Structure 1
Amino acid sequence: MSTHVKDVSDIPAQDRQSQPGLQADMDPHPIAYDLVGGDGHFEPYKAAGKLSGKKALITGGDSGIGRSVAFLFAKEGVDGLTIFYHPSEEKDAADTKRDIEKESKCKVITFALDIGNVNEIKKGIDTHVKAFGHIDILVNNAAEQHVVENIVDIPEDQVERTFKTNIFGQIFTTKYAVPHMKEGSSIINTTSVTAYRGSAKLIDYSSTKGSIVAFTRSLSQQLAPKIRVNGVAPGPIWTPLIPASFSPEQMSDFGKKVPMKRAGQPSEVATCYVFLAGPDSSYMTGQVLHPNGGEVING
C-alpha cells in the first residue's frame, strides 16, 4: 500500500538525536525516491535517462536530501557515484550504498571524512578520481546546524565548526574537484530558505547559508561558460538534521507554518538537483531553486 501525503504530515514525538542525526532512527523515515501523485499518494519516481553515464560526487549523500539525490541520480543513469559522509553515519551510508546498487547499475563508493578537514577532502576526491576518472556532477550538500536561543550564549567553537562544515567544506571540495571536471559539468550547492529570511535561533547556520548563495553566484561567473554552478534552497524538509537540532515539541510543529502546511520530503527536493545536473537546465547558472512549501522570498 502506497504512502499518502497525509501519512507523513504529522511528525510524532521522538527522542532528540545527536548531530548530525541518523536517518535509520527517524519516525517516519524520510521518503527518498517517491513523488506525490495526483491523488496525494507517493508514487515511484519515473526516470528518463537524463544523466546516463555520468559520474557524480555528493557530500552528505548518506541521508536526507543527499540520499534522495543519490537515488534519483542513479535512477537517471549515473553509473559512478561517490558519497562523502560523517563517520558517525556509517549505517546510513552502508544502507544507501546497498539500496542504490540493488535498484540500479550504479557503482557506489562511500568515503568517511570530516568535511571541514581539507586533507580529508583531498583524499576523498582522489579516491573518486582513481575509481571513476573524473567528476561530471558535484553536489555540495553536507551541513550541520545547532539551535541557540540567544547570541550571547553561542559557543565560539560551534560557530567555527558550523562555518568549517557548511561553507569552508563547499569551497575546498569545489577547489579540489574542479580540476577533474570537464566542460559541460555541473556544480550544485545546497543553501537554505534561512539564507533569505533568516532564523532567530540558527544565527551561525543561516549566516553560512547566505555565504553559500554568494559563493554560488560568484563561482558561476568564474567558471562560465564551461561549468554551470547553481544552488537549491530547501525549506522545512524532513531530514536527520531536524531531530538532531530540535526538541520533540518543536518537531511536532515542524513544517506546519508554510502554505503547504507540512514538511517536505527529501524526494520532493531531489528533483531540483536532477534538473540542475542535466541538460534541461543548460542555460542556467548562478541561480537558486526554492523548494520550500510556498514561502515567498526575495533575493
Structure 2
Amino acid sequence: MVARVGRVKEDGLPGHESKLEPKPDWEPHYSGSGRLAGKVALITGADSGIGRAVAALFAREGADIAIIYLCEHDDAAKTAEIVAAEGRKSLVLAGDVGDPKFCEQAIKKTVKSLGRLDILVNNAGEQHPDPEIEDITDKQLQRTFQTNIFSMFYLSQAARPHLKKGSAIINCTSGELQRV
C-alpha cells in the first residue's frame, strides 16, 4: 500500500480471493443439464469472483474451461480444482490480457490444448479509483483501459477465426457510482 495525502492507494491489484473474509459464494446450487457439453470456454479473470462462478457453472453444464488470470496462482489453481470436480478439463494461463501478444497466445493455446473455442467470456477488469478525479494519473487511466477495454478487442480479434456458428462472446463490464 502506498499512502497519498491522507488516503490509502491500493497497489497490489487485482488481489487474492483466497485472502478474503468472508469467502465469496460461488458454488452452483443446482444440477447441470449438459447444455454446454462438448463446448470450450475461455474466461478471463476466472481465478476469482464472477469469473470463478462462471467457470464453475459452465463446467457444471459440461464445458471445458481455459482459466485466464494475471498472477493469483493459488486462486487459479482453486478454480481448476472446481472445474475438475465437475468432471471437466481446464487449462490455466497466467498473463496480462492488456497485452495483445498474450491474448493471441492464450487463444492459440486454448484451441491446441482443449481442441476448440466456443465461448469467450471477457470478464477480467480492474479499476484504480481515486476520491478526486484530479488525482487519477495517466498510468491509472491507461492501465484501466488496457485491461477493461483493449483486452476485449484483443481477445475477440484473436478468437474470431476459431468461433463457429452458435459461438458466443460475452463482455462483462462494471462501473462505480460516485457522488459529487
Report the TM-score, using the length of structure 1 for normalisation. Answer: 0.55
Look up the SS of the partner of 2:167 in the other structure.
Answer: strand
What are the Cα deviations for residues 212-241 of structure 1, in whole angstroms up to 9, with x where unaligned? xxxxxxxxxxxxxxxxxxxxxxxxxxxxxx
2:163 maps to which of 181, 204, 217: 181
Report whether the alignment pairs 1:121 with 2:106.
no
What amino acid sits opposite 1:31 in the alignment? D
The 8 Å contact of residues 129 and 136 in structure 2, kept in 1 or not, is answered as no
Report whether the alignment pairs 1:19 with 2:13.
yes
Q: CA deviation at 1:105?
A: 1.8
Per the alignment, residue 36 of structure 2 pairs with 51
- Correspondence list, 1:4-15, <5 A: none
Report the TM-score, using the length of structure 2 for normalisation. Answer: 0.89
Per the alignment, residue 41 of structure 1 pairs with none
Q: CA deviation at 1:46?
A: 2.4
CA distance in 2, matches of 1:123, 1:98: 23
What amino acid sits opposite 1:200 in the alignment? Q
Q: Give unmatched runs, 5+ long, in structure 1.
A: 1-15, 35-43, 202-299
Report whether the alignment pairs 1:81 with 2:75.
no
**RMSD (CA atoms):** 1.5
The 8 Å contact of residues 32 and 64 in structure 1, kept in 2 or not, is answered as yes
The 8 Å contact of residues 148 and 154 in structure 1, kept in 2 or not, is answered as yes
Per the alignment, residue 217 of structure 1 pairs with none
Q: Show structure 1 runs of 4+ deviating over 4 A.
A: none
CA distance in 2, matches of 1:125, 1:188: 15
CA distance in 1, matches of 2:109, 2:20: 31
Q: CA deviation at 1:18?
A: 2.8
Report whether the alignment pairs 1:100 with 2:100.
no
CA distance in 2, matches of 1:24, 1:69: 17
Q: Give aligned pairs, total.
A: 170
Q: Give unmatched runs, 5+ long, in structure 2.
A: 1-9
CA distance in 2, matches of 1:142, 1:164: 11
The 8 Å contact of residues 33 and 45 in structure 1, kept in 2 or not, is answered as no
Residue identity over aligned pairs, in percent, reads 44
CA distance in 1, matches of 2:78, 2:125: 20
Look up the SS of the partner of 1:182 in the other structure.
Answer: coil
What amino acid sits opposite 2:121 in the alignment? V
What amino acid sits opposite 1:174 in the alignment? S
